[in-house]
Amino acid sequence: MRTLLQKGDEVVVISGRDRGRRGKIQRVLSKDGKVIIEGLNLVKKHTKPSKTNPQGGVIDKALPVPTCKVMLICGGCNHPTRISRESAVDGAMVRICRQCGRTID
């Protein structure tokens, strides 16, 4: 599954428990069609003591969010938008905001 979202993009969640919240993409899981957003979709994970974490305890862990549940925020118009792709003058593919028409890359 090909996704037009990239690491470092700012997105807004459009449905679910975190609806309306914004965050940056930390990681894109393109095979699964999911993204991990920093500070969103957090769950508590209970860890046993180990060498890396000698005290153990409860940590917050970000779980993946399906890409259909998020929308990219355009840097120009600062609104959630759909993305289209067009080829630039040099032949490279660029992402374009459907609302304002500016390039996102």
**Tell me: the pLDDT tens digits for 15-74?**
999 999 999 999 999 999 999 999 999 999 999 999 988 999 999 999 999 999 999 999
Statement to judge: residues 83 and 66 lie in one domain: no
Statement to judge: residues 3 and 26 lie in one domain: yes
Residue 43: its pLDDT value, please?
A: 95
Residue 9: its pLDDT value, please?
A: 93
Is residue 7 included in any domain, yes or no?
A: yes
2 pLDDT band, cuts 50/70/90, is low
> Which 8-state DSSP code applies to residue 103?
B
pTM: 0.83
Statement to judge: residues 68 and 25 lie in one domain: yes
Is residue 54 included in any domain, yes or no?
A: no
CATH number for the domain that contains residue 37: 2.30.30.30
Return the closest-CA partner of residue 88 out of 78, 103, 70. 103
Residue 94 bridge partners (DSSP): 86
- CA–chain centroid gap for 76, Å, is 18
Query: What is the Cα–Cα distance from 6 to 35, expressed in whole angstroms?
Result: 9
Statement to judge: residues 21 and 41 lie in one domain: yes
Number of structural domains the chain divides into: 2
Domain that holds residue 19: 1-47+59-73
Residue 7: its pLDDT value, please?
A: 94
